Amino acid sequence: MSSFNCFVVGLTGGIGSGKSTASQYFEQLGIHIVNADQVARDCVMPGTSALDEIINHFGKNIIDKNGDLNRSELRKIIFDNESAKMWLEQLLHPIIRDELILRINKASSVYVILESPLLFETKQDSLTDTTLVIDSPIELQIKRASKRDQTSEEAIKKIINSQMKREERIKMATFVIENKNNVNDLKKHVKLLHEKFTKLATKK
């Protein structure tokens, strides 16, 4: 159980699984969403100490002409460089975690959703009371993500291969929604779980 006063649900899933869509449905039901991806972006905004350290480590080519972090350049550097990836994670993960804690504490809905693509990998699940995985067949993940991001299927496959395996994610989850491309089904499952989480939240 988390140390927060509020009940925290960790929401995760692979790329293109539909976790952001599920998150939007929870938000429509009045639930506060803390988005780990957004927090990660905010932590490296121009003027932050984290961005300064990244520039010192990787050089000025890591920022664009506006002074923002060039994410695609950074991805290229760390994708095949384990030591660079480790350095970056050791810098950012504690900063992101502290900010997540701050934002969860500020939430006022009956429970809070912590949406994170790396919930288990970064041990952010330790901030939660229960976890929900949105799961989709790999072919669907590839199709959705490549269409959404205007990226080649090959690039999406690489990302999927670098993420936790579906089976592992499912094994670690308390709840699983199978998202097989039916929006109404996904909405229905979210509504049922919303009722369940609301009950659990009142017992905490």
Query: How far apart, in whole angstroms, are the C-alpha atoms of residue 46 and residue 69?
Result: 8
Own/partner pairs, 35-39, CB within 8 angstroms, 24+ separation? 35/115, 35/116, 36/96, 36/100, 36/114, 36/115, 36/116, 36/117, 36/118, 36/119, 36/124, 37/115, 37/116, 37/117, 39/96, 39/99, 39/100, 39/103
Instruction: Indicate the pTM of the whole model.
Output: 0.91
pLDDT at 136: 94
* DSSP for residue 160: H
Sign of CA dihedral 169, 199, 108, 27: positive
What is the mean pLDDT for each group of 10 consecutive residues in the chain (204 residues)? 90 95 98 98 97 97 95 88 95 97 96 97 96 95 87 86 92 97 92 98 91
pLDDT at 39: 98
Query: How far apart, in whole angstroms, are the C-alpha atoms of residue 28 and residue 144?
Result: 22
Which among 97, 53, 95 is positioned nearest to 74, based on CA atoms? 53
Distances (CA, A) of 66 to 39, 69, 174, 204: 20, 9, 43, 46
Query: How far apart, in whole angstroms, are the C-alpha atoms of residue 57 and residue 105?
Result: 33
pLDDT at 3: 83
Could you tell me if 114 and 128 are in contact, meaning their C-beta atoms sit under 8 angstroms apart? Answer: yes
pLDDT at 72: 87
pLDDT tens for residues 58-98? 999 999 999 999 998 998 899 889 999 999 999 999 999 99
In the structure encoding, which two tokens stand for residue 171, read together?
A: 């094994």
Helix, strand, coil shares, percent, the chain, to 5:
60, 15, 30
- Average pLDDT score over the chain: 94
